[in-house]
């Protein structure tokens, strides 16, 4: 099971990076670095200068109240929004346009999938866009559908699937792109609690098995702590007319995590309180 060639590619890349980490600045640089990024949109300051790094294999969550700038920050990571000041660097190089190595998973899976294409057809979209030779499509689609547990549903249409399954199709389509970074904008926000927890665990497993790097936006503090190695918390309205303020919080909770015991872990409870207090200060 799994993805032998995907993993082999990643492991080879990691090995190369490890052995040549002193050779070039790019090899030593984090996958992504936000360097004093501030954002102004529609004549309004959205985000105070913010710096943080995302290293290869890390799971970084962005959390905050509605309208605080989570989606905007995620969009700057893929050059869909240009910072007003500061820079976003990928492997040490400023990003200027969207790259195929960065995949985006949207909350609204209903609109992200083409209803007239089968599950496999939707996954093939990513392969067509990446100009992967047609002869490889079937095997690569099968590989990613197996990873998200949808091998038996390849020939169904999206509307024949539950919401959770449709979101797994979208994740499979992103995996087919073999991205080095997955940007996820409230991907489980529209799902019921049980489905959501199942997908959280599936995603955590995929990330661990494939060495994926993820930036994950959510407004759910517990989801951010449960999934993240680090959380970027955004506080809206830290003062009258002031843009959102970011704080970085490490999540030193061991993996694999568990829906029951992790959520009762003293560190989990402490972090939830810390995040809640920080985010709520903006409303006080």
Ligand X SMILES: Nc1ncnc2c1ncn2[C@@H]1O[C@H](COP(=O)(O)OP(=O)(O)OP(=O)(O)O)[C@@H](O)[C@H]1O
Binding partner of residue 191 among ligand X, Mg ion, none, CB cut-off 5 to 8 Å per kind: none
How far is 145 from 173, CA to CA, in rounded Å? Answer: 9
The nearer residue to Mg ion, 68 or 175, going by C-beta atoms, is 68
Q: Does 50 bind Mg ion (CB under 5 A)?
A: no
Peptide bond into 256 cis (omega under 30): yes
The nearer residue to Mg ion, 71 or 122, going by C-beta atoms, is 71
The nearer residue to Mg ion, 66 or 261, going by C-beta atoms, is 66
How far is 4 from 147, CA to CA, in rounded Å? Answer: 11
Are 82 and 76 a contacting pair, CB within 8 Å? yes
Q: Does 70 bind ligand X (CB under 6 A)?
A: yes
User: What distance separates the 2 farthest-apart alpha carbons in the chain?
Assistant: 59
Among 48, 50, 71, 76, binds Mg ion (CB under 5 A): 71
Question: What percent of the residues of the chain are helix, what percent strand, and what percent coil, each to the nearest 5?
Answer: 45, 20, 35
Smallest distance from Mg ion to CB 8, Å: 36
* Interface segment toward ligand X; rule CB under 6 A; list 3-11, 38-46, 176-184, 204-212: 38-46
* Interface segment toward Mg ion; rule CB under 5 A; list 71-79, 130-138, 188-196, 239-247: 71-79
Angle, to 10 degrees, between the axis of helix 119-129 and the axis of helix 163-176? Answer: 30
Among 8, 41, 93, 269, binds ligand X (CB under 6 A): 41
CA distances from 53 to 129, 150, 177 (A): 29, 33, 23
3-class SS of residue 255? coil
* Interface segment toward ligand X; rule CB under 6 A; list 41-49, 138-146, 165-173, 261-269: 41-49
Q: Tokens in use for 122?
A: 């939707």
The nearer residue to ligand X, 66 or 97, going by C-beta atoms, is 66
Q: Does 42 bind ligand X (CB under 6 A)?
A: yes
Q: Does 219 bind ligand X (CB under 6 A)?
A: yes
Q: Does 69 bind ligand X (CB under 6 A)?
A: yes
| Residue 38 bridge partners (DSSP) | 85
Query: Residue numbers of the site for Mg ion (CB under 5 A)?
Result: 71
């Amino acid at each position: 099971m799994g993805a032998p060639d995907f993993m082999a590619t990643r492991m080879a890349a990691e090995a190369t990076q490890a052995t040549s980490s002193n050779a070039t600045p790019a090899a030593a640089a984090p996958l992504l670095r936000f360097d004093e990024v501030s954002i102004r949109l529609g004549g309004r300051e959205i985000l105070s200068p913010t710096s943080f790094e995302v290293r290869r294999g890390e799971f970084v969550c962005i959390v905050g109240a509605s309208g605080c700038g989570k989606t905007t920050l995620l969009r700057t990571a893929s050059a869909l929004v240009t910072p007003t000041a500061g820079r976003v660097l990928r492997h040490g190089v400023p990003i200027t346009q969207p790259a195929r190595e960065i995949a985006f998973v949207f909350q609204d899976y209903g609109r992200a999938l083409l209803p007239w294409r089968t599950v496999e057809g939707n996954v093939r979209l990513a392969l067509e866009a990446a100009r992967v030779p047609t002869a490889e499509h079937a095997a690569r689609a099968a590989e990613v559908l197996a990873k998200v547990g949808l091998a038996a549903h390849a020939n169904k249409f999206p509307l024949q699937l539950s919401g959770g399954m449709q979101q797994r199709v979208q994740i499979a389509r992103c995996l087919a792109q073999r991205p080095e970074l997955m940007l996820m904008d409230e991907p489980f926000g529209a799902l019921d609690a049980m489905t959501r927890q199942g997908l959280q665990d599936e995603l955590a497993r995929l990330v661990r098995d494939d060495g994926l790097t993820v930036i994950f936006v959510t407004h759910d503090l517990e989801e951010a702590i449960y999934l993240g190695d680090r959380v970027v918390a955004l506080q809206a309205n830290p003062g009258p007319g002031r843009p959102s303020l970011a704080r970085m919080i490490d999540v030193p909770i061991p993996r694999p995590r568990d829906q029951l015991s992790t959520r009762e872990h003293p560190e989990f409870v402490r972090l939830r309180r810390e995040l809640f207090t920080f985010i709520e200060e903006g409303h006080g």
